[in-house]
Chains A and B, each alone.
Chain A
């Protein structure tokens, strides 16, 4: 393989040296490996179902807890010695839990087999004889041959995958919110309030009547008059509403730190909703985090969308409208397709920023990367390895994302650019 020595940039060499140093320390220092193992919430291909000490004659019995769902399981026992190191494994016990099986104690399965054996319970018991030197046995469910289960396990993992999951879902939410408010901000700053005024005031009348029907207490002169004034004033100001409301949202939300928004969501809004709905609406944990991040970033994305839409030359709208297209048609077929390409670099940027801001959700007790790191540190008392691992994980994720964003930009560029 020919190496183009003249063309390697100087920063590439520095990155190479740094990478080698980091790689060496990570791979040889077992604390790093342990911390990363914890942050990635490995393993993804097996799950421990229970543990048992080994008796005098080498016998062990493990009952699977919690209850298993219907399906086929490949179980085996991992042999541990006194210092909890894995020294071997038993043969495979293949069992099948039928649908509708009850959660009962049954006779243990003592013979390993490669063909599945039906058990009439969701908490089967496996037993076996362990060889000399084995102190305890952990029963594992091995699903390394079931990619769907591996994927599901990864999806709900603590640490890295929780971070990715939260960031993905929050970003989608932020993109939707941003588009809605961004479009509202594109509308005229000082619109003509007299257009269709008659219709709007008439509609206001309908709203007033509706309110008086629904709220009987307000059917007296003073209240009805107040309602009428407020409703008609709102109706009059309606054309200016989109811009006003969206500006309010963008300026207020951008002015509050992300951390405050997350704390507000987690410790003010969530309990209040839970009380008000008597436990029905519980946003504890993940939903609160996603709502907070979406809400907070939506404000930034709204401005990104607005800038993107406004960057499309006016002539495009003129041409589209002159052909007879409506506002929505011109947006959908002409403006937005072009705006999307303009808007992608800043969106990618904001996605990477959100990935790092996701570390803030640790304050509402979610076990994402930072929180997992701190948990590991509290158990192992090694702060350097812990925080370095956390930083390393974020760095690798953002670098990969940057590459991905650049790739997408190049792929979607208009021909000739």
Chain B
């Protein structure tokens, strides 16, 4: 693609105390691309995600999101408003209803009026398939429903990029499909997505590119087909043999 990448990570290093979580990671993501990151636990895939929206600071290297250098941004909150994030444990605000969860950041960050924010919220709830749960509290929702509300909450900010940190790993099997369907729709609509996930079905259906990480480094990058059928590195083959049936 001849366009400019919307996310550029160059030689990023990140330490947590003695642990070298990211060792010189360089990644580029183009607008509209769906990139799936996989790898064993501790490989740094979640850390990668958290560095993109500066929830973790980096020790060296550059990260540029939508043209703005993230580690030296004047107003990091503005950058974060353009990058939506969906977490493994949903992280819905338990003291607010589903609707209020989706409306809060719209009013407080985007300064939208209550009525507009609510309308957008209800539309999004319908889009993710649970319009009737608008006035339910998170504790009254199933895991799959909570995650869909979380996706709606992130989408309400109309971000340019959506980050997903193992969105279905904490869900019961029957609920995984409903969340993946929402993510598939999003991918088809052209949203730029970076997804950390083990869901191969989703990767094959939606990913433009897959990145395999191990031990803080990018080991291999390829299209889903190439990665499955023709993995280049031993570590990739080893990992795939463990997770594929």
Contacts and interface: CB of A to CB of B under 8 A. Distances in A.
10 contacts: A313-B91, A316-B91, A318-B55, A319-B91, A333-B104, A333-B108, A337-B95, A414-B95, A416-B137, A417-B139
Interface of B: 50, 53, 55, 77-78, 80-85, 87, 89, 91-95, 104-105, 108-110, 137, 139-140, 150, 153-154, 157
Nearest to A312: B94
Contacts, number: 75
Interface residues of A, number: 22
A416 B108 CA distance: 27
5 closest pairs, A vs B, by CB? A416-B139, A324-B81, A319-B91, A323-B105, A322-B85
Interface of A: 313, 315-316, 318-326, 329, 333-334, 337-338, 341, 414-417
Contacts of B91: 313, 315-316, 318-319
Nearest to B150: A319
Best-buried of B91, B110, B139, B154 by chain A (most CB within 10 Å):
B91
B109 A323 contact: yes
B157 A323 contact: yes
A341 B93 CA distance: 14
B38 to A, nearest CB: 22
- Interface of A (DSSP majority class): helix
B203 to A, nearest CB: 23
Contacts of B77: 321, 324-326
A416 B78 contact: no
A345 B94 CA distance: 19
B65 to A, nearest CB: 13
Contact of B153 (A313, A316, A321, A323): A323
A415 B137 contact: yes
B80 A322 contact: yes
Contacts of A313: 91
Contacts of A322: 53, 55, 80, 83-85, 154
A189 to B, nearest CB: 14
Nearest to B85: A322
A325 B76 CA distance: 10
B115 to A, nearest CB: 19
Nearest to A337: B95
Contact of A324 (B87, B92, B157): B157
Best-buried of B50, B85, B140 by chain A (most CB within 10 Å):
B85
A332 to B, nearest CB: 9
B149 to A, nearest CB: 12
Contacts of B153: 323
Given A323-B154, A325-B105, A416-B139, A338 B85 contact: no
A334 B92 CA distance: 10
A324 B109 contact: yes
Contacts of A326: 77
A341 B154 contact: no
A335 to B, nearest CB: 10
Contacts of B82: 324
Contacts of B139: 414-417
B140 A323 contact: no
Contact of A315 (B78, B80, B87, B154): B87
A324 B238 CA distance: 39
B95 A341 contact: yes
Contacts of A329: 108-109
Contacts of B78: 324
Contacts of A416: 137, 139-140
A326 B111 CA distance: 13
Nearest to B141: A416
Nearest to B54: A321
B138 to A, nearest CB: 8
Contacts of A321: 55, 77, 80
Nearest to B104: A333
A324 B80 contact: yes
A137 B5 CA distance: 97
Nearest to A330: B108
Given A321-B80, A325-B109, A414 B85 contact: no
Contacts of B85: 318-319, 322
Contact of B89 (A315, A323, A415): A315
A322 B150 CA distance: 12
A388 to B, nearest CB: 46
Given A315-B87, A321-B80, A323-B154, 17 more contacts: A315-B91, A316-B91, A316-B93, A318-B87, A319-B150, A321-B55, A322-B55, A322-B85, A323-B80, A323-B109, A323-B153, A324-B77, A329-B108, A329-B109, A334-B93, A338-B94, A414-B139
A324 B84 CA distance: 9
Contacts of A341: 95
A339 to B, nearest CB: 10
A415 B140 contact: yes
Best-buried of B81, B87, B108 by chain A (most CB within 10 Å):
B108
A313 B94 CA distance: 11
Contacts of B108: 325, 329, 333
A189 B106 CA distance: 33
A223 B110 CA distance: 51
A324 B93 CA distance: 15
Contacts of A417: 139
Nearest to B83: A322
Nearest to A323: B105
